Amino acid sequence: MADYNSEHLGTAFRAAILAGDFIVNNLGKISKNDIDTKQASDFVTRIDKESEQMIVATIRKKFPGHQFLAEESFREKNISGYRWIIDPLDGTTNFIHAYPVFAVSIALECQGEIILGLVYDPLRNEMFTAEKGRGSFLNGEPLNVSSVADMANSLVATGFPFRKKEMIDPYLELFKKVFHRVSDIRRAGSAALDLAHLAAGRCDCFFEIGLSPWDIAAGSILIKEAGGIVTDFAGSQEYLVTGNIVSGTPALHAEILSEVKEVFTGIINQ
């Protein structure tokens, strides 16, 4: 069993359950008045905001000196050494449509490094957790990335660049190249869950452009602690800064990265 006695993980765990229950209780019940548009195709609901307030309040009560980077309203610099990176509802568009794929994502950064990650799927009661050097777990059971060894048998997850529609042509070029090589491709609508599923061996590779730290901080440590590889588009570790991410099992990461580089070198350098 995972050690939920770690004070950081235990607190994140409680916050995620609280927020996840709240989200599920509101599924299919929101009205137009609950939804704001941030930019074209990019929405936020009252539920995203309230979920974030619940998570931050729960963690802040336990760790009053820590800072927060949370999608809807916290942009604090890490001055204490500890900063929580939170997506209170990853998959908002799905949630608005009652499409049942969304998650709560909570990570903890210490001196610039992610040391804890948690992704909670409240509809399936799946709690994915990882702490640096201690492995990844799903509801307390250890996780490993898949052992699929060739691209032809792989299932690849991705996200469409709906906030960067100017990227659609190179994105589709990459999609086509990858599509011809793999078993199939999925676009489920929650980057945090895509990464958690990769950690759990349910898919084998992932790529997406222009994500934010709260989308990927928790998922990236889940994958690394489950034995997978996570990089940016140059093969470096700047994905939390650039938001461009390529991930895969040790057998497949180099192959998917080389497809990404072939299309994006010169367009996106990292």
**Which residues bind to Ca ion, rule: CB under 5 A?**
71, 87, 89-90, 215
Task: Tell me if 192 sits within 8 A of 219, measured CB to CB.
Answer: yes
Closest CA relative to residue 202, chosen from 109, 90, 119, 94 = 119
Smallest gap from Cβ 159 to ligand IPD, in A, equals: 3
Closest CA relative to residue 249, chosen from 131, 147, 136 = 147
**198 phi/psi in degrees, rounded to 5:** -65, -45
Q: Rule CB under 6 A: choose which of 52, 72, 90, 121 binds ligand IPD.
A: 90
Query: Which residue, judged by CB position, is nearest to ligand IPD in the bound state?
Result: 159
Q: Residues 103-142: x/- map of binding to ligand IPD (CB under 6 A)? A: ----------------------------------------
**Secondary-structure percent of the chain, ordered helix, strand, coil, rounded to 5:** 40, 25, 35
Task: Tell me if 192 sits within 8 A of 119, measured CB to CB.
Answer: yes
Q: Residues 145-184: x/- map of binding to ligand IPD (CB under 6 A)? A: --------------x-------------------------
Q: Rule CB under 6 A: choose which of 189, 201, 219, 248 binds ligand IPD.
A: 189
Smallest gap from Cβ 88 to ligand IPD, in A, equals: 8
Secondary structure of residue 136 in the 3-state scheme:
strand
Task: Tell me if 70 sits within 8 A of 33, measured CB to CB.
Answer: no
**The two three-digit tokens of residue 11, written as one number:** 């607190």
Q: Which is nearer to Ca ion, 146 or 159 (CB)?
A: 159
Smallest gap from Cβ 216 to Ca ion, in A, equals: 9
Q: Which is nearer to ligand IPD, 2 or 175 (CB)?
A: 175
Stretch that binds ligand IPD, among 3-11, 22-30, 133-141, 187-195 (CB under 6 A): 187-195
Smallest gap from Cβ 188 to ligand IPD, in A, equals: 7
Question: Residue 91 binds which one of ligand IPD, Ca ion, none, with CB within 5 to 8 A depending on kind?
Answer: ligand IPD
> Is 72 a binder of ligand IPD (CB under 6 A)?
no
Taking the CB of residue 96, how many other CB atoms lie within 10 A of it?
Answer: 18
The residues that bridge with 248 in the sheet, in sequence order, are 205, 229
Smallest gap from Cβ 51 to ligand IPD, in A, equals: 11
Smallest gap from Cβ 91 to ligand IPD, in A, equals: 5
**69 phi/psi in degrees, rounded to 5:** -120, 105
Smallest gap from Cβ 106 to Ca ion, in A, equals: 12
Q: Where are the alpha helices (DSSP H) in the chain?
A: 7-25, 46-62, 92-96, 168-181, 191-199, 213-225, 239-242, 253-264
**The two three-digit tokens of residue 63, written as one number:** 């760790």
Q: At what angle do helices 7-25 and 46-62 cross, to 10 degrees?
A: 160
Question: Residue 193 binds which one of Ca ion, ligand IPD, none, with CB within 5 to 8 A depending on kind?
Answer: none
Binding site for ligand IPD (CB under 6 A): 87, 90-93, 159, 189-191, 208, 211, 215
